[in-house]
Structure 1
Amino acid sequence: MPDVTVLPILLLAAFVHGAFGFGFPMVATPLLALFMDMRAAILLTLIPTVSINLASIFSERHWREALRTFWPVPTFTIVGSFIGTQVLLAVDPEPFRLLLALVLVAYLVTDRFHRAERERRAPTWALALLGLALGLLAGLVNIFAPVLVVFALYTRMNPTLMVAAFNLSFVTSKSGQIIGFVSNGAFDLTTLRLSLLILPAVLAALWIGIRLRRRIEVDTYRRLLRCALWAMAGLLIADWLWTAD
Structure 2
Amino acid sequence: MGIFHSLSLYSVAFFIVVIAFIVRGTIGFGSGLIAVASLILLMPVKLAVPLVFLLDLTAALVLGSYDAKQVVWRDVLWVLPFASVGVFIGGFILKKASPGSVTFILGLFILVYVLYALWVKLDKLPKIRTLWAIPLGLLGGLAGSLYGGGGPPLVAYLQLRKLDKRQFRATMQLVAGMNNVLRGILYVALGLLTLPIGLGYLALLPAMLLGLWIGNKVHLRINAKLFQEVVLVVLTLVGLKLMIPV
Smaller-chain TM-score range?
A: 0.7 to 0.9
| Counterpart secondary structure, 2:149 | coil
| TM-score (structure 2 length as normaliser) | 0.86
- Give the SS at the match of 1:119: coil
Distance 1:42 1:24 in 2: 12
- Select which of 35, 39, 51 maps to 1:32: 39
CA distance 1:236–1:155, change in 2 (3 Å): same
- Of the three residues 113, 116, 125, the one matched with 2:124 is 116
Q: Which secondary structure does the structure 1 equivalent of 2:129 belong to?
A: coil
1:53 equivalent among 57, 60, 72 = 60
Give 4+ residue runs of structure 1 displaced > 6 Å after superposition: none
CA 1:216/1:175 → structure 2, altered by over 3 Å: closer, same or farther? same
Asked whether the equivalents of residues 25 and 49 of structure 1 are also in contact (C-alpha less than 8 Å), the reply is yes
What amino acid is the match of 1:11?
V
Q: Residues of 2 paired with 1:12 and 1:148: CA distance?
A: 22
CA distance in 1, matches of 2:108, 2:69: 32
Match 2:87 to one of 63, 77, 81: 81
2:174 counterpart letter in structure 1? L
Aligned partners of 1:34, 1:141: CA distance in 2, in Å?
Answer: 13
Cα RMSD of the aligned pairs, angstroms, is 2.2
Kept in 2: contact 1:27–1:229 (CA 8 A) = yes
Instruction: Verify the 8 A CA contact 2:90 2:144 in the aligned structure 1.
Output: yes
Structure 1 residue 117 displacement after superposition:
6.7
Percent identity at matched positions?
24
Letter in 1 for 2:231: L
Is the contact made by 2:17 and 2:35 (CA closer than 8 Å) also made in structure 1? yes
Q: CA offsets, 1:173-226, max 9 Å, x none?
A: 222221122112231111111212321331122111111210122233223212
TM-score (ref. length: structure 1) = 0.86
Gaps of 5+ in 2: none
Which amino acid in 1 is paired with 2:65? F
* In structure 2, C-alpha distance between the alignment counterparts of 1:63 and 1:33, rounded to whole Å: 35
Residues of 2 paired with 1:102 and 1:138: CA distance? Answer: 15
> Contact (CA 8 Å) 1:116, 1:156: kept in 2 or not?
no
Counterpart of 2:51 (choices 38, 44, 61) is 44
Q: CA deviation at 1:122?
A: 1.8
